[in-house]
Amino acid sequence: MKFNTLLWEVDAGILTLTLNRPEQMNSFTVEMANELIAAFNAASEDDSVRAVVVTGAGRAFCAGMDLSREGNVFGLDETLEPTMDDMRKRLGDPEIEEGVRDTGGQVVLAIYDCKKTDHRSDQRRGGRHRCNDDLCDGYTRCLRAHKGWFCL
């Protein structure tokens, strides 16, 4: 896949997503958030991907939000004043989703929804995975590599 702020590389079933703004210490932008959401959605449906690792290019993983941008750095519309009723009934409305909802929170929800990062995926397949690590309970999310399997 091609992104402006991320690198996508799959090797032996492991997708490595690299935040790729090393000159800015991989500081987070709305574009990066949208690309991460798209990447996790794509990884979720890609049968060649069994696990996802996120890393950063250069000397920093991520320096946080890029505060050098003009306007609202989170991409939010500060003129909107949604009510609680709006948040209950219009959460999927593009005006609310793009103008009000927390940018980082949307990325976290994409990670949560991704089938490759969901510890419940083993339960959906009928139980424990094939990990031989005595410390792994078969359902706990971890990023320790095991021979032939990743505990996720």
Reported pTM? 0.73
Specify if 19 maps to a domain: yes
Specify if 67 maps to a domain: yes
Q: pLDDT tens digit string along 3-26?
A: 999 999 999 999 999 999 999 999
Low-confidence ranges of the chain (pLDDT < 70): 117-152
Specify if 126 maps to a domain: no
| CATH code at position 54 | 3.90.226.10
Domains identified in the chain, total number:
1
Specify if 81 maps to a domain: no
Tell me which residue range forms the domain holding 22.
6-71+104-118
Contact 82, 96 (CB under 8 A): yes
Specify if 65 maps to a domain: yes
Compute CA distances 13 → 29, 53, 75, whole Å: 28, 11, 34
Specify if 29 maps to a domain: yes
